[in-house]
């Protein structure tokens, strides 16, 4: 297995720079691996494509207003910090640009929604920096909601990069498969007899990390915190016992459920960390269908969907998506994959 095996040609103009409106007007490619078929729908068709009793599992994390702009307290040199994770009270792991400015003991002054606040560089952790803030930081409002680097020039409502069911602001990026749901579509699915089970995986900066290793098995993922509440675990287990499908809304849900299934031997309440990487040849123990966006070439997310549905089948579907001019990445279209 080589990282180059997961490459494909993507015209730059297919990278979506603006979301479609309404959210559920996005196109939906439906893949059925067992039948070898590809169908073309819209996301609003989802209720008709699922079976009664299917459980949809969604990641309800919210993107932090994590991008802060500031300056060195001594020279006024400009700096940018992206909040990643709170280590303890007032201490945060961040990504800093330029990284060379992150010298231990150096003080920076940031402008936040609640006013200016200073922070001291406490330590370096590989590509992350620990900042000790001299005041409180509210990750829900502190700075700007960071968009992925491949989205340039978007000036619309930042809420469009949040799911309609998002809750606590704890992530550095959105679980983008969920961006296609509207409140009306959620209600329509409930009326059709589907249940929702909620969990959180706090998306970290690893979602943007390219795979540099020639062999993807040598690529390490950053650990991310996951929580599967008891009520959700019960809903999922009941669906499994009653032979209903567990439909993961996004790769973060897949990684959470498959991690729990491996750690505990079945789906049960869980809170902890995962760095699970799923590659072709890996088995799936908890997920029966997957809703996901179109991913970057050579990425761990593309490798995960290839593991779920077969590399050859998935890459052929991606070639069709390019030919049919589907829109790619966070603001793009979606897939519904049945093994």
What average pLDDT does the structure give for the chain? 95
Compute the average pLDDT of residues 265-274: 97
Name the CATH superfamily, with its identifier, for domain 3-63+153-338. QueA-like (3.40.1780.10)
In this chain, the answer to whether the domains covering 3-63+153-338 and 67-133 adopt an identical fold is no
Q: Where are the domains of the chain?
A: 3-63+153-338, 67-133
CA distance 131 to 118: 10
pTM over 0.85, yes/no: yes
Chain center to CA of 139: 18
Q: Would the pLDDT of 1 be above 80?
A: yes
Residue for token digits 């620990």? 130
The two structure tokens encoding residue 276 = 């699970």
CATH pick for 67-133 out of 3.90.1170.50, 2.40.30.170, 2.40.50.140, 2.40.10.240: 2.40.10.240
The two structure tokens encoding residue 300 = 């761990």
What is the structure's pLDDT at 207?
Answer: 67
> Cβ contacts of residue 98 below 8 Å, gap of 6+?
79
What is the structure's pLDDT at 208?
Answer: 64
| Cβ–Cβ under 8 Å, residues 240 and 246 | yes
CA distance 269 to 235: 11
Is the omega angle on the peptide bond into residue 198 within 30 degrees of 0, that is, cis? Answer: no
- The tens digit of pLDDT for each residue in 149-158 reads 899 989 899 9
CA distance 258 to 188: 28
């Amino acid at each position: 297995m080589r990282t180059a095996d997961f490459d494909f040609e993507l015209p730059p103009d297919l990278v979506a720079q603006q979301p479609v409106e309404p959210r559920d007007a996005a196109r939906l490619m439906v893949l059925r691996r067992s039948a070898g078929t590809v169908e073309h729908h819209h996301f609003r068709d989802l209720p008709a494509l699922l079976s009664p009793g299917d459980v949809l599992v969604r990641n309800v994390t919210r993107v932090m207003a994590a991008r802060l702009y500031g300056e060195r307290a001594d020279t006024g040199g400009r700096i940018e910090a992206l909040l990643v994770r709170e280590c303890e009270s007032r201490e945060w792991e961040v990504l800093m640009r330029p990284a060379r400015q992150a010298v231990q003991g150096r003080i920076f002054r940031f402008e936040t929604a609640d006013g200016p606040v200073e922070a001291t560089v406490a330590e370096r952790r590989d590509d992350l920096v620990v900042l000790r803030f001299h005041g409180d930081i509210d990750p829900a409002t502190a700075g700007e909601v960071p968009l992925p680097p491949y989205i340039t020039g978007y000036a619309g409502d930042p809420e469009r990069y949040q799911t309609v069911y998002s809750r606590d602001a704890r992530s550095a990026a959105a679980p983008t498969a969920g961006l296609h749901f509207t409140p009306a579509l959620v209600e329509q699915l409930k009326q059709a007899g589907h249940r929702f089970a909620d969990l959180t995986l706090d998306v970290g900066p690893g979602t943007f990390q390219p795979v540099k290793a020639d062999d993807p098995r040598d690529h390490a993922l950053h650990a991310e915190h996951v929580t599967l509440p008891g009520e959700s675990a019960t809903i999922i287990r009941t669906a499994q016992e009653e032979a209903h499908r567990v439909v993961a809304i996004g790769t973060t849900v897949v990684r959470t459920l498959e991690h729990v299934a491996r750690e505990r031997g079945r789906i049960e309440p869980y809170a902890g960390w995962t760095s699970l990487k799923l590659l072709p040849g890996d088995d799936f123990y908890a997920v029966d269908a997957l809703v996901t966006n179109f991913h970057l070439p050579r990425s761990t997310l593309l490798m995960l969907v290839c593991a779920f549905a077969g590399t050859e089948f998935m890459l052929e579907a991606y070639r069709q998506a390019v030919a049919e001019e589907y829109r790619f990445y966070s603001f793009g279209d979606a897939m519904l994959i049945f093994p």
